[in-house]
């Protein structure tokens, strides 16, 4: 991965993308990095919409859940307008609804709930026993050992500089058409410093939660999101924030797909710290459709 010596890093560009411009009361403008993509990455819209909602909430309240729908592909060449509606401000909880607009039409809608922090019952599931990130191939090693003979779509994916580094526990799915169990474990890590600010930490976590998730629903079918014969897109996305995390180390993203039917695939995910603390859970349904023969 290369970049200009004095240019911003991928993480610095992501943080700038999440730093929305206020243009009116409860209305914000977001921009997209010009990375040559045909449409806006879904995680970016989730992160920006969450940031817009957070900017309307009192400082001592933090997001505990969000639920979102993708309605139209985002156009990276023009700004996205985020309109926040203050649904409820209660003694313990706040609710916000955010609509993202481009070209006069809604492309995305998000509802989020915020809570004053309080003590209560506390339990969690255990993190699975998998290889630690230091035991796995890094991105440079993957490129050196595998990419020379990989399809072009896979090469572009791994060669692009990203704000989040991905280190899959298994690489079989990326370089094979074998039908596998519909589950995967992926270590993820910010490639640059994330501010010690829970608004940015939540937005970055929401951003990365959309990475690799939909692909898990294709494991059982011996294909992947890189298959040019498929039409693949996120339809909806839900996320629950259980415990705060500074995002200064690797996170394990465990994923499984309990069902695919009707040209849709459902995937669930859990995000753990290296020490096994469950910080967030995710669910997403996506379109996984074979393209019609031209």
210 is catalytic: yes
Q: Parallel, antiparallel, or unpaired: how do β-strands 251-261 and 61-70 relate?
A: unpaired
Mean pLDDT value across residues 151-178: 82
Whole-number pLDDT of residue 3: 47
Round to the nearest angstrom and report the end-to-end CA distance of the chain.
36
Q: Is the pLDDT of residue 193 over 60?
A: yes
249 is catalytic: no
Window from 41-55, 128-142, 270-284 with minimum mean pLDDT = 128-142
Q: What is the DSSP letter of 9?
A: P
Of 48, 185, 210, 257, the catalytic one is 210
CA atoms lying within 13 Å on the CB side of residue 135: 6
Domains of the chain: residue spans and CATH:
1-117 (3.10.129.10), 132-293 (3.10.129.10)
Task: List pLDDT tens digits, range 213-262.
Answer: 999 999 999 998 888 899 999 999 999 999 999 999 999 999 999 999 99
77 is catalytic: no
């Amino acid at each position: 991965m290369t970049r200009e010596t004095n240019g911003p890093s991928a993480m610095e560009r992501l943080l700038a993308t999440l730093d929305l411009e206020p243009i009116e009361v409860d209305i914000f403008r977001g921009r997209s990095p010009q990375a040559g993509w045909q449409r806006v990455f879904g995680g970016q819209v989730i992160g920006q919409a969450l940031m817009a909602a957070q900017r309307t909430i009192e400082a001592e309240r933090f997001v505990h859940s969000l639920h979102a729908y993708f309605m139209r592909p985002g156009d990276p060449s023009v700004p996205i307008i985020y309109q926040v509606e203050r649904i409820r401000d209660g003694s313990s909880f706040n609710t916000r609804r955010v609509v993202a607009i481009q070209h006069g039409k809604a492309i995305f809608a998000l509802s989020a709930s915020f809570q004053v922090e309080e003590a209560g019952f506390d339990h969690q599931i255990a993190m699975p026993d998998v290889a630690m990130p230091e035991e796995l191939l890094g991105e440079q090693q993957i490129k050196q050992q595998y990419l020379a003979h990989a399809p072009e779509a896979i090469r572009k994916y791994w060669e692009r500089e990203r704000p989040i580094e991905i280190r899959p526990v298994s690489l079989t799915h990326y370089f094979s058409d074998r039908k596998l169990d519909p589950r995967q474990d992926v270590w993820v890590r910010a490639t640059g410093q994330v501010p010690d600010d829970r608004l940015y930490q939540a937005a970055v976590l929401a951003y990365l939660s959309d990475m690799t998730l939909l692909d898990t629903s294709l494991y059982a079918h011996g294909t992947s999101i890189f298959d040019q014969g498929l039409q693949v897109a996120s339809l909806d996305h839900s996320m629950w924030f259980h415990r705060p995390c500074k995002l200064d180390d690797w996170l394990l993203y465990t994923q499984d797909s309990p069902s695919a039917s009707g040209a849709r695939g459902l995937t669930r995910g859990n995000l753990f710290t290296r020490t096994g603390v469950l910080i967030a859970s995710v669910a997403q349904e996506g379109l996984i459709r074979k393209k019609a023969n031209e």
